[in-house]
Structure 1
Amino acid sequence: MQVIDFRFRPNTQATIDGFTTSTMFKGMFEKIDLSHMKAQTVPEIVEDLKKHSVVKAVITGRDCESTYDAGSNNGGVINFVQSFPDIFIGFVGLDPHKGMKAVKELQDSVQNKGMSGASIDPYLAKIPANDAKYYPLYAKCCELDIPMVISTGPATLVPGAVMEHAAPRFIDSVARDFPELKIVISHGGYPWVQEAIMVAERNYNVFMELSEYEQHPGSEAYVQAANTIIPDKILFASAHPGVDFRQAMNLYNELPFAADVRENIMYNNAAKVLGL
């Protein structure tokens, strides 16, 4: 079975250092067993992906320079995509506090640098997804006909982050205001599991991936929803290298998805979002 991984970052030494030394995520990574996180060259990573039938891997950029002491990593994402455009799909990370500068970066990244989507982190921007500062970015995504990944999740041990800013209910507002915009809820809207499921069900343009939260308390509802009301809405995403993509693939083979639903999750739903 072919696989699209909708949340992947190549485990180069620079990527690993960026995670483990980050002031934002240092506390989170101190709780995680990182023994599996070995640095590789990009060609080695690509070879491993192909060996395991991963035909596309979405790399999301991040820019939260206005709120945290971390500059944009979009340059690195662009380098990955331009080096291996056959397998890597890049989403430009955007800082809503940069206003028109962010809008122009989005347009330039898509039209001139090979990027295929956009990515935001409301809990790192310290404003919810339906804040007016995001709306020019959503409008530009509609104009460019590209999807937007919106990160959710509890922002565990991220200093100064407000968990409420990541709630799926704010994404519901965006989906209604921009029905042409394909939205992917990253990290499953956890811990608002039922809320995220309903946002995906009630909006044609909302999808979600569950990376890192497939086995958290209450997560069995994701599987139930995939097998019943949203078989066309959930995407496979590993969160590699935080979770090794091979380990994540094994987990999805073990979770009790119906066979046709698993095929949708591992490839078909993502292909639809990406327009493949």
Structure 2
Amino acid sequence: MNIDDLVAIDVHVHAEIGADGRTALPEALMHASAAHFGARERHPTVDEIAAHYRERRMAAVVFTVDAEHATGHRPVASEEVAEACRRNADTLIPFGSVDPWRGAAAVTAARRLAADHGVRGFKFHPSLQAFDPDDRMAYPLYEAIQELGLPVVFHTGQTGIGAGVPGGGGIRLRHSNPMLVDAVAADFPDLPIVLAHPSFPWQEEALAVAVHKPSVHIDLSGWSPKYFPPILMRYADSLLKDKVLFGSDYPLLTPDRWLADFAGLDLKDEVRPLILKENAARLLGLRPAEG
């Protein structure tokens, strides 16, 4: 992967269908999420995702979510995602996902995904996986990932998954309050953390955690930039300019739409390349750290 030739690095892309046609989530949740975003119902394969980003001279971090304990649905395997990313290593970066409710087996799985399948980080979705990030049952898993020197992404804020389904599909939003991640950042100071999405309705909490904890970053996925809260943009343009990352949430939101709307934001010229590529390149170890 030639970082200098890339236009951008999208740190938030979902693999939503497996090679056998199995979807990442139960069909009712998949349909509801697509309806919430006004997205297409056809889900691209990982190879199709690679072609989409390669055509645009972008790299993308790709992951699925293992929420089998809460949903009863067998996920698309992280091993499969990683293998597809390996075939497309010029443009894709694999992240893994392990259900923290698996306990010791989750720790073993995380170590295996890193050692044998080359994953470069891990994704958690607390609302979908039905756990509080600061629940001690997940701490052995965080400890293992910290030892591996890999970053983690936590979904924060409201989710389109379950939106409009009776009872929200049983999904509880409170699990994704970024203040719950603050304890993780305090207890695992060497664990790089990304708070995914503008964290509605907890945007100021997310900013407070990112300012206070050196290890915490924010990705801007899941929203068109024209709807970003003004306070988020003020921090992205100043105090957090080195800790904010481009993410789209593809295929629910396309990078084309995101970048077109991002171009209209009032940001300093020197901040744009940091958000679009340089911050992610440093976080992912694609560029050496300064100093």
- In the superposition, the TM-score normalised over structure 2's length comes to 0.86
Partner residue, 1:212: 222
Report whether the alignment pairs 1:27 with 2:6: no
Partner residue, 2:99: 95
CA distance in 2, matches of 1:193, 1:211: 13
Partner residue, 1:163: 173
The residue correspondences of 1:44-55 to structure 2 (distance < 5 A) are 45-54=49-58
- 1:167 maps to amino acid: N
- 1:111 maps to amino acid: A
Partner residue, 1:3: 8
CA contact 1:184–1:209 (8 Å) conserved in 2: yes
Offset at residue 34 of structure 1 (A): 2.5
CA distance in 2, matches of 1:10, 1:97: 21
Report whether the alignment pairs 1:184 with 2:194: yes
Report whether the alignment pairs 1:231 with 2:235: no
Deviations 1:50-95 (A, max 9, x none): 33220x2101221110110221222331232121122211111111
Partner residue, 2:289: none
Deviations 1:82-123 (A, max 9, x none): 211222111111111100111111000000111111111111
CA contact 2:10–2:246 (8 Å) conserved in 1: yes
Unaligned runs of 5+ in 2: 1-5, 287-291
Report whether the alignment pairs 1:70 with 2:73: yes
CA distance in 2, matches of 1:85, 1:155: 30
Unaligned runs of 5+ in 1: none
CA distance in 2, matches of 1:237, 1:172: 21
Offset at residue 267 of structure 1 (A): 0.5
CA contact 1:20–1:29 (8 Å) conserved in 2: no
CA contact 2:43–2:251 (8 Å) conserved in 1: no
CA distance in 2, matches of 1:252, 1:197: 19
**Inter-CA distance 265–16: structure 2 relative to 1 (3 Å threshold):** farther
Partner residue, 2:285: 275
SS state at 2:14 partner: coil
CA distance in 1, matches of 2:74, 2:48: 27
Q: After alignment, is 100-109 or 11-20 more displaced? A: 11-20
CA distance in 1, matches of 2:257, 2:124: 26
CA distance in 1, matches of 2:14, 2:108: 24
Offset at residue 2 of structure 1 (A): 2.4
CA distance in 2, matches of 1:110, 1:20: 23
**Inter-CA distance 138–28: structure 2 relative to 1 (3 Å threshold):** same
CA contact 1:213–1:219 (8 Å) conserved in 2: no
Please give the root-mean-square deviation of Cα atoms over the aligned residues, in Å: 2.4
Identity of aligned residues (%): 27
Partner residue, 1:113: 117
**Inter-CA distance 216–162: structure 2 relative to 1 (3 Å threshold):** farther
CA distance in 2, matches of 1:125, 1:195: 21
CA contact 1:81–1:115 (8 Å) conserved in 2: no
- 1:77 maps to amino acid: V
